[in-house]
Amino acid sequence: MASQRLALLDAVCAAPKAELHVHIEGTLEPELAFALARRNGVTLRWRSSAELRAAYAFDSLQSFLDLYYAGCDVLRTEQDFFDLAWAYFQRAASDRVVRAEVFFDPQSHTARGVGFDVFMPGLLRAVARAQQQLGLSAAYILCLLRHLSEDDGIATLQAAQPWAQHFIGLGLDSSERGNPPEKFARLYAQARAQGLRLVAHAGEEGPAAYVRDALDLLGAERIDHGVHAADDPALVRRLAGQGIALTVCPLSNVKLCVFPDMAAHNLPALLHAGVKVMVNSDDPAYFGGYVNANYQALLAAHPELDSADAYRLLRNSLEASFAPAGRIAAWVGKLDAHWRAQGLDAG
């Protein structure tokens, strides 16, 4: 039995998959943060990368965000953003990610005087190299900070216009409680008119009503986290019936105390209720691992998840991506071939 479980874990790690919820700023490893601080003459509050890593003990979303925004200060030049994104793409490819849809938070940089003309070229150079050297398809989602005003978000979307063809969608992150979806209805209407795909963080710390409002008031096509939707059975039925994806991040949810431990995580219940969930890493440098570490931690704590469930999670990740339908079909074909070659049940 134990060896069968290990074989399933290996098969999941080696399977083609998409990552749809990862913040590029959340992939800043302490070692890179210190290297960039040295390069840019920035003084950090911590004496070493080990000391910084030891500070990664959080009791809430806000306690994490305070550190995450502080970390952004070392990102100053085009090369810094390239180095950050290229490091992530290499790690993602080694986890067999074939498609990554990556958030970036422009306001975390523009507020420090680092503009689109600095970070976009670096981020885009990394995407081009990921495609060429790793065969990894990647795209960016412009993510706005919900603790700031809607007008600030609208101004940021405006400032992004020269780069509009280089991102596929709009998202909403940062402090959820007290910053409900309705605050951003005008902004999302503008983004929709521009043809952007729409996603929003909702139901991470906030209530199920925020998930419903992200769908109904913002037109979100995919919900980031969304785990509190489980508190509303009618909403769960709607998510399942409409095939609306939740980009769930197991290690993040445990690290930020959304669940007391991995065994208490509700991803299996959502999956078994027919909701299109999959596994993502969110801010892997801060939460203890990249996407495969998330799959491993989830499967280790939930022996009730079988090979058909694992297949469904992987397939959901590919199907919920915003890549062209032909690309998705090709990746699903590769997943099917891999699963068959391992002799595993796909359900």
Q: Is 174 near ligand HPA (CB under 6 A)?
A: yes
Which residue(s) pair with 172 in the sheet? Answer: 144
Does residue 282 belong to the site contacting ligand HPA (CB under 6 A)? yes
Name the one range near Zn ion by CB under 5 A: 46-54, 63-71, 181-189, 280-288.
280-288
* Total residues interacting with Zn ion, rule: CB under 5 A: 1
* Helices and strands in the chain: count of H runs, count of E runs: 17, 8
Alpha-carbon distance of 104 to 115, in angstroms, equals 13
In the list ligand HPA, Zn ion, none, the entry touching 108 (Cβ below 5 to 8 angstroms by class) is none
Helix (H, G, I), strand (E, B) or coil at 215: helix
Per rule CB under 5 A, is residue 319 in the interface with Zn ion? no
Token couple for 279: 């596994």
Can residue 105 be called a binding residue for Zn ion (CB under 5 A)? Answer: no
One DSSP character per residue, 255-321 reads: HTTSSSSGGG--HHHHHHTT-EEEE--BSHHHHT--HHHHHHHHHHH-TT--HHHHHHHHHHHHHTS
**Binder among 23, 197, 255, 265 for ligand HPA (CB under 6 A):** 23
CB of 173 to Zn ion, least distance (A): 5
Nearest one of 88, 122, 117, 111 to 19, comparing CA atoms: 88
Q: Which residue blocks in 148-216 are alpha helix, DSSP H?
A: 150-159, 185-193, 208-216
First to last CA, the chain: 19
Contact call for residue 282 and Zn ion (CB under 5 A): yes
Residue 286 Cβ, how far from ligand HPA at the closest point, in Å? 8
- The catalytic residue positions are 204
| Residue 34's binding partner out of ligand HPA, Zn ion, none, with CB under 5 to 8 Å set by partner kind | none
44 touches 36 (CB < 8 A): no
Residues whose CB is less than 8 angstroms from the CB of residue 293 and which lie 6 or more positions away in sequence, other chains included: 251, 281, 284
Site string for ligand HPA, 191-230 (x = CB under 6 A): ----------x--x--------------------------
Return the number of the residue (44 or 142) whose C-beta is nearest Zn ion.
142
Q: Answer whether 144's CB lies under 8 Å from 107's CB.
A: yes
Closest approach, Cβ 248 to ligand HPA, in A, equals 11
Q: Does 61 interact with ligand HPA (rule: CB under 6 A)?
A: yes
Q: What Rg do the C-alpha atoms of the chain give, in angstroms? A: 19
Candidates 252, 280, 316, 321; binder of ligand HPA (CB under 6 A) is: 252
Q: Shortest Cβ distance from residue 143 to Zn ion (Å)? A: 8
Give the one entry of Zn ion, ligand HPA, none that residue 299 binds, where binding means its C-beta sits below a cut-off of 5 to 8 angstroms depending on kind. none
CB-CB contact of 203 with 225 (8 Å)? yes
- The CB-of-41 to Zn ion minimum distance in angstroms stands at 30
Number of residues that bind ligand HPA (CB under 6 A): 11
Partner in contact with 174, chosen from Zn ion, ligand HPA, none, beta carbon below 5 to 8 Å by kind = ligand HPA
Q: Which residues bind ligand HPA (CB under 6 A)?
A: 23, 26, 61, 68, 173-174, 201, 204, 252, 282-283
Q: Which residues bind Zn ion (CB under 5 A)?
A: 282
